[in-house]
Chains A and B, each alone.
Chain A
């Protein structure tokens, strides 16, 4: 028979965004839409992730990544952005750090770009509109990898 302490309570559940040692995973959010940025940030912070930075276009994302490196665990990257698009930014970040974990954020209809991004080294992709569960699932799967 199981003792009471075998059932985890809500309070005991480890926030998903933290490592075993309790430190938070650090995520860089790159998206030209402030709205999406905020949405992703809310989802992530609610699970204990730390949003290490945000960027509004690919170039800024690349710069931020270099600035944060190596204190960044994952990047979420929008595909359509002004100045430098997400796929180019992805390419440049991978060039800089071949172990970078990047998850593409894409809307429907961008299949070809998603494929390109995956071949270039993106770890996964998430389809907009964003769903809390999917975002967490994919990001965690990526981090456990």
Chain B
């Protein structure tokens, strides 16, 4: 047993699992690339590398079943890479099934069990791929074990010696090194070159027997003779020690050539190579030993994985594969609590931390400075008081003098003479304090900058690209489309959009639901599509983008769209809505998120039990997000999921309306203005005002939120907010300033307050509400539409009356 499996080395094992998971994901992605582009050399290389790494790592942790299996898979990849096996659908299926098995093996191992599902059928299929190309198969079995018969102890002819001497020149001596190689070394074909390289460092290797090219071939040579030309000062023992390589060589003889001497005593016997247990893994064909805990294992493992088809079942069971892939996708999402962070982000944090330390040192200095100032002011004040006391004491004396007939001018002069210093007693202190305050201000500005960056840096640690979950979809879509007999191509956009790790984990399930829904109910079968004049292959697009503090995820398809009438009818049947209720299309679409709703005629095993979409809405709402659906009949439908970037801190502009404080996310603020009431113009009975060339409509927050406030004032403050193309001016009483806002979600019955995203506790302990700009804009638009409708009806009524 190697020393890496001791229980104390859990840490290493955990790393193994994390990495293995990554490699498997890599494998899967690239196999899918290969499916569409079988000549993609990069993908093949990547696959090969990942399989190779996986095999090596599993051998180290002694997971024999995994090593064996990945080795077989690797061989298949090898023959793909050499162009010996052709990539067809069957092969891709076999490979994907193999990946599932590898996943099952890993997950069994991570629970301390050993996978014992029957993989012989799959192995047979893999071997069949190899067998198609007998040479590859052969190669796989015998890697590194070809050997050639040992040549007879070659004797150099006179001519050869002459030639060597000529090549060496007169000032170099020639040695002949005869090296015997161990066959037990796992890479026994490398030795010839290794000794060559070692000897090269001593001089020039003029000739080898067998020839250099033969050494370079992947063939084991038990005996190689090297002819080495060296400068005069190289000793034989030095050559021997150079040529002796642990585990590689068994015997080295060195003698001088050309001078007719007896062989030098270079007969140094190298160590007999010891065969190590761990090196025996080179032939991973040995049987996996049944482990004691197999009885319990089999259940645990076969649950997670469908063992790929039986021997006679050549065509893969697509439905089953789809199911297992789904499982795998889900499992992968839940198990990783390890966060992989770009080391540059950590470096950046360390840098910032060191800066704070410097600033702290600066503040320590400042404390001393201020203490000094305090001392100064105390001293100065004491002086000042004393002088003042003297002044008061002296006053009667001066009065006496004036009374005694002394001219006032003279008395004043005397007073000035004696007490004039009172005027600039604080001057020194003043300057001192001013410089300290300046320093303090600089320091605190610096600190504000650093702590801001630090906060951002820490937040960014939790930010991961959404690719982490998007990457699971190609496989899912592929398997689902096969089991549904539909042709679907998947587009992924914006996969490097980043969002909070905790958000991303909870996002996977809703996304899977939506995608399944689109595939199952949205996109039609190829025949239907052709009939309605669309391309045979349907398109599903997954797209992520940033919108202010929100992430927008769109799942759109070009399928048949949502049948509004059918939805309404079904909703009435199910009692979700009242038959007489008037619904807009949008409202009707969103009915599909109601619990117990399904428009599919037949329940499939993929989606359509009517539990999907209401779960989606619940989960998204849990993330403070919103989900909506939009559809054009015949052209497709689009799910839009909007979730906050992170559940944490944003920068807000604090404003006051009446006695209430509100925070507007600074990322939505375009600019702010102070306007007179006369600047407000009316268009269509709407309050607007001009910002440079633009006209921006105004919304009075006090009216919107029904806050009592005095509207009769000289100036209004307007904050222009925008998200996307839309802009709007919010009228507030006062701008307070920027502040970091920690978002606290509003719970329960407050959740549906339109225009409010959450609450925040400000620095002085009061609560301010955070304004949801996107919602406000919508609210504004709605108001506008309502007004317009009202006006139109009144106009119609009027014209009707006329």
B-binding residues in A (CB < 8 A): 32-36, 38-39, 42, 80-82, 106-109, 111-112, 114-115, 118-119, 121-122, 124-125, 127-134, 137-138, 141
A111 and B189 contacting across the interface, CB-CB below 8 Å = yes
Q: How far is the CA of A119 from the CA of B18 in the complex (A)?
A: 35
Task: Name B144's contact: one of A82, A108, A121 (CB within 8 Å).
Answer: A108
A124 and B245 contacting across the interface, CB-CB below 8 Å = yes
B143 and A119 contacting across the interface, CB-CB below 8 Å = no
B4 and A39 contacting across the interface, CB-CB below 8 Å = yes
B194 and A42 contacting across the interface, CB-CB below 8 Å = no
Count CB-based A-B contacts (< 8 Å). Answer: 100
B187 and A111 contacting across the interface, CB-CB below 8 Å = yes
Task: Name A111's contact: one of B52, B55, B190 (CB within 8 Å).
Answer: B190
B12 and A42 contacting across the interface, CB-CB below 8 Å = yes
Task: Name B276's contact: one of A82, A107, A124, A134 (CB within 8 Å).
Answer: A134
Q: How far is the CA of A109 from the CA of B49 in the complex (A)?
A: 12
Q: Which residues of B contact A119 (CB under 8 A)?
A: 193, 196-197, 200
Interface: B108 (CB within 8 A): no
**Known: A35-B19, A39-B12, A118-B193. Is A112-B218 also a contact (CB below 8 A)?**
yes
A-B contact pairs, 19 of them (CB 8 A): A36-B56, A38-B15, A107-B55, A107-B56, A108-B143, A108-B144, A108-B282, A111-B144, A112-B218, A114-B190, A115-B216, A118-B193, A119-B197, A125-B187, A125-B190, A127-B187, A127-B279, A131-B2, A132-B3
A138 and B246 contacting across the interface, CB-CB below 8 Å = yes
Q: How far is the CB of B328 from chain A (nearest CB, A)?
A: 21
A131 and B12 contacting across the interface, CB-CB below 8 Å = no
B281 and A118 contacting across the interface, CB-CB below 8 Å = no
Q: How far is the CA of A121 from the CA of B15 in the complex (A)?
A: 32
Q: What 0/1 readout, one digit per residue, does chain B (1-42) give for beta carbons within 8 Å of chain A?
A: 011100001011001101100000000000000000000000
Q: Which residues of A contact B18 (CB under 8 A)?
A: 34
Q: How far is the CA of A80 from the CA of B52 in the complex (A)?
A: 9
Q: How far is the CA of A40 from the CA of B178 in the complex (A)?
A: 34
A111 and B218 contacting across the interface, CB-CB below 8 Å = yes
B246 and A80 contacting across the interface, CB-CB below 8 Å = no
Q: How far is the CA of A83 from the CA of B568 in the complex (A)?
A: 56
Q: How far is the CA of A122 from the CA of B245 in the complex (A)?
A: 14
Q: How far is the CA of A69 from the CA of B184 in the complex (A)?
A: 37
Residue of A nearest to B19 (CB): A35
B194 and A125 contacting across the interface, CB-CB below 8 Å = yes
A35 and B144 contacting across the interface, CB-CB below 8 Å = no
A133 and B276 contacting across the interface, CB-CB below 8 Å = yes
Interface: B278 (CB within 8 A): yes
Interface: B770 (CB within 8 A): no
Q: Which residues of B contact A35 (CB under 8 A)?
A: 12, 15-16, 19, 57, 60
**Known: A80-B49, A80-B52, A124-B245. Is A115-B278 also a contact (CB below 8 A)?**
no
Task: Name A34's contact: one of B19, B197, B276 (CB within 8 Å).
Answer: B19
Q: What 0/1 readout, one digit per residue, does chain B (71-88) give for beta carbons within 8 Å of chain A?
A: 000000000000000000
Q: How far is the CA of A34 from the CA of B190 in the complex (A)?
A: 27
Q: Which residues of B contact A133 (CB under 8 A)?
A: 276
Residue in A81, A106, A134 with the greatest tally of chain B CB atoms within 10 Å: A134
Q: How far is the CB of B451 from chain A (nearest CB, A)?
A: 30
Q: Which residues of A contact B143 (CB under 8 A)?
A: 108-109
Q: Which residues of B contact A106 (CB under 8 A)?
A: 187
Residue of B nearest to A119 (CB): B197
Within 8 A of A (CB), among B159-191: 186-187, 189-190
Q: What 0/1 readout, one digit per residue, does chain B (257-279) give for beta carbons within 8 Å of chain A?
A: 00000000000000000001011
Task: Name A33's contact: one of B11, B57, B246, B282 (CB within 8 Å).
Answer: B57
Q: How far is the CA of A109 from the CA of B188 in the complex (A)?
A: 11
B contacts with A, residue count (CB < 8 A) = 40
Q: How far is the CB of B446 from chain A (nearest CB, A)?
A: 29
Residue in A39, A108, A112, A127 with the greatest tally of chain B CB atoms within 10 Å: A108
Q: How far is the CA of A42 from the CA of B53 in the complex (A)?
A: 19
Task: Name B2's contact: one of A42, A108, A125, A132 (CB within 8 Å).
Answer: A132
B186 and A127 contacting across the interface, CB-CB below 8 Å = yes
Q: Which residues of A contact B216 (CB under 8 A)?
A: 112, 115
A33 and B19 contacting across the interface, CB-CB below 8 Å = yes
Q: How far is the CB of A88 from chain B (nearest CB, A)?
A: 14
Residue of B nearest to A128 (CB): B56
- A-B pairs, 10 with minimum CB distance: A129-B60, A115-B193, A118-B197, A129-B59, A128-B56, A131-B278, A35-B19, A107-B56, A35-B15, A35-B16
**Known: A39-B4, A128-B60. Is A34-B15 also a contact (CB below 8 A)?**
yes
Residue of A nearest to B57 (CB): A35
Q: Which residues of B contact A115 (CB under 8 A)?
A: 190, 193-194, 216
B53 and A32 contacting across the interface, CB-CB below 8 Å = yes
Residue of B nearest to A81 (CB): B49
Q: Which residues of A contact B19 (CB under 8 A)?
A: 33-35
Q: Which residues of A contact B3 (CB under 8 A)?
A: 132
Residue of B nearest to A117 (CB): B197
Residue of A nearest to B15 (CB): A35
Q: Which residues of B contact A111 (CB under 8 A)?
A: 144, 187, 189-190, 218
Task: Name A80's contact: one of B53, B186, B218 (CB within 8 Å).
Answer: B53
Interface: B554 (CB within 8 A): no
Interface: B247 (CB within 8 A): yes
Q: Which residues of B contact A33 (CB under 8 A)?
A: 19, 53, 56-57
Residue of A nearest to B216 (CB): A115
A129 and B190 contacting across the interface, CB-CB below 8 Å = no
A130 and B12 contacting across the interface, CB-CB below 8 Å = no
Q: Which residues of A contact B218 (CB under 8 A)?
A: 111-112
Q: Which residues of B contact A128 (CB under 8 A)?
A: 56, 59-60
Q: How far is the CB of A28 from chain B (nearest CB, A)?
A: 16
Q: Which residues of A contact B15 (CB under 8 A)?
A: 34-35, 38
Q: Which residues of A contact B196 (CB under 8 A)?
A: 118-119
Q: Which residues of B contact A118 (CB under 8 A)?
A: 190, 193-194, 196-197
Q: How far is the CB of A118 from chain B (nearest CB, A)?
A: 4
Q: How far is the CB of A10 from chain B (nearest CB, A)?
A: 17
Q: Which residues of B contact A130 (CB under 8 A)?
A: 60
Q: What 0/1 readout, one digit per residue, does chain B (333-348) give for beta carbons within 8 Å of chain A?
A: 0000000000000000
Residue of A nearest to B74 (CB): A109
B49 and A82 contacting across the interface, CB-CB below 8 Å = yes
Q: Which residues of A contact B247 (CB under 8 A)?
A: 134
Q: How far is the CA of A122 from the CA of B2 in the complex (A)?
A: 27
Q: What 0/1 readout, one digit per residue, does chain B (190-228) give for beta carbons within 8 Å of chain A?
A: 100110110010000000000000001010000000000
Residue in B12, B57, B281 with the greatest tally of chain A CB atoms within 10 Å: B57
Known: A111-B187, A114-B193. 18 other contacts (CB 8 A): A35-B57, A36-B56, A38-B15, A39-B60, A80-B49, A81-B49, A107-B52, A108-B144, A109-B143, A114-B190, A115-B194, A118-B196, A119-B193, A119-B200, A127-B279, A129-B2, A132-B3, A132-B4
Q: Which residues of A contact B245 (CB under 8 A)?
A: 124
